Amino acid sequence: MPILMDTGAVYAIADRRDAWHERVDHFVRTTREELFVPVSVIPEACYLLHTHLSPKAELTFVSACASGEVKVKNLVHRDLVRVSEILAQYADAKLGFVDASVMALAERLDIERILTVDRRDFSLFRPEHCDAFELLP
């Protein structure tokens, strides 16, 4: 069963000092499931990697995406329509575009598992295709 990765998980893998590093890194190294990074996660992850770690950390991630080592899933117009709906529906929760895009992509691809360190936003959201996301690790 495929798994979508959120920005926080991407960052946690790269930052050995991150509180989530060991759990996320272990999960990524041991899972047999396919992991995908939504294209919308890339700019946010790059910003965090560049500013909090180093330009080299950003380059390593971008190179992994470009080479196919990290599998990237693109958004389509339908996903953007759904992102807009999610942002409007959850306006009081102040969800951001990137989280909403991960949610919309998961719905379209019928993915129920999200690798994330963001428990609040992904627990709050009620997807159309399942009762709730399974949050990993």
CATH of the domain at 44: 3.40.50.1010
Q: Where does the chain show beta strands of DSSP type E?
A: 3-5, 35-38, 71-73, 113-115, 134-136
Q: State the residue range of the domain holding 22.
A: 3-136
Q: Are the CB atoms for 44 and 105 separated by under 8 Å?
A: no
* Per-residue pLDDT, 105: 98
Q: What tens-digit pLDDT sequence spans the chain (137 residues)?
A: 999 999 999 999 999 999 999 999 999 999 999 999 999 999 999 999 999 999 999 999 999 999 999 999 999 999 999 999 999 999 999 999 999 999 999 999 999 999 999 999 999 999 999 999 999 99
